[in-house]
Chains A and B, each alone.
Chain A
């Protein structure tokens, strides 16, 4: 009773037969071995499983793998490019934005999406937009600082990019 899905994950296409009930999070973790996407709850609340699907942050524990057929997915494993950390990853490191690291992949995926949507997000907006991600270790303080550092860094990159184009 399998169903074929074809999904591009971190630039690579995978075609697999899955049981329809396979959650996208399990598909990534178990079928593809991409264990960076964590599972922290069963009520879709914690955000540890956040990935990007067609450029949008989604909770992969609440999406069926079959629903993701034909989509392009980025997971935490695909964030660094040629060994260079994504600005949000770098900011988490610089600002001590993680302790146990379990919420971290979801946080990074959530924040990188948030900053794409709201490039000028204030501290308050960042805190508010993080409502779908729970961290039990950090008290969020350094996560918010990391988001602010990444926001500024992305601005900087954006400006440089614009200058290069002119």
Chain B
């Protein structure tokens, strides 16, 4: 399987990349290539040109003043092993460590994953959970909660390049966890749930619970979140909260491996398990 022919341009700066993109109609951004190249091999994608942004200076991770900044070209492996991420927003590192396999993690980038917005991908769920902001080369900022629009579709404008993802850091008292139920063949999430829980004096102060995999875009389990806030994180309360997750799952996707009903159920299972672990980590 080989891609159809295309022109190739290697950009050295974001500005150059933007220029190349606007100059070549039908051109696409190439980052790690781990969603785009497989699609091109199957010829479900056949861009006339690729603008390779792989060498832009967007491979960095910093934390300052309560904000963690991850350059869009940071690979999943970099994020997963980054001490800065582990200290400031551990859930992101833990989630990144479960994407694909070690080879995929060495090439795939956070920016690429978010731009691609695969329904079964992990990052969209993760960044929505932590309330990340997605920044672009044109100076736009998107709230993760409203960034993912549909199947493989985001709010990103044509030719705009994701440059940075920022997110609030969290420390002791808050725990986060991503529980993924992977497909046995593809490794992508059949269902995945990300939770961030702040516990103060035995009571849940803040809860963020987002589930992905079952629907085209990740969804926030608002009822479950509201239910838990102000309550003790007991297993009964968590169970009850997880039982509410199904309410937010509209039009679940189904296939031969997992029906929509089953995915909806799994979203609840993953939610319960991830909440338990998040609470545990908050301690």
Contact = CB atoms under 8 A, between A and B. Distances in A.
Interface of A: 1, 3, 19-21, 23, 26, 42-45, 47, 50, 53, 56-59, 61-64, 66-67, 69, 110, 113-114, 117, 129, 131-133
A23 B2 contact: yes
A113 B3 CA distance: 28
Given A20-B8, A23-B41, 11 more contacts: A1-B5, A20-B50, A21-B2, A23-B37, A42-B1, A42-B38, A58-B103, A62-B37, A63-B37, A64-B8, A131-B101
B41 A42 contact: yes
Contacts of A132: 100-104, 187
B101 to A, nearest CB: 3
Contacts of A50: 103
Contacts of A63: 33, 37, 107
Query: Per DSSP, are chain B's interface residues mostly helix, strand or loop, or mixed?
Result: loop
B112 interface: no
A131 B7 contact: no
Interface string B1-30: 111111110100000000000000000001
21 contacts: A1-B7, A20-B7, A21-B3, A21-B6, A23-B37, A45-B186, A47-B103, A57-B103, A58-B103, A58-B107, A59-B103, A62-B34, A63-B33, A63-B37, A64-B30, A64-B37, A66-B52, A67-B30, A67-B52, A110-B103, A132-B100
Contacts of B52: 66-67
A63 B185 CA distance: 21
A42 B2 CA distance: 9
A16 B50 CA distance: 20
Give the bracket for the number of chain B residues in contact with chain A. 20 to 34
B42 A129 contact: no
B8 to A, nearest CB: 3
A16 to B, nearest CB: 14
B7 A47 contact: no
A3 B186 CA distance: 33
Most chain A CB atoms below 10 A, which of B4, B7, B8, B52: B8
Given A66-B52, A114-B102, A19 B5 contact: yes
B33 A117 contact: no
B33 A64 contact: yes
B246 interface: no
Contacts of B10: 66, 69
Given A44-B34, A67-B52, A129 B8 contact: no
Contacts of A43: 38, 42
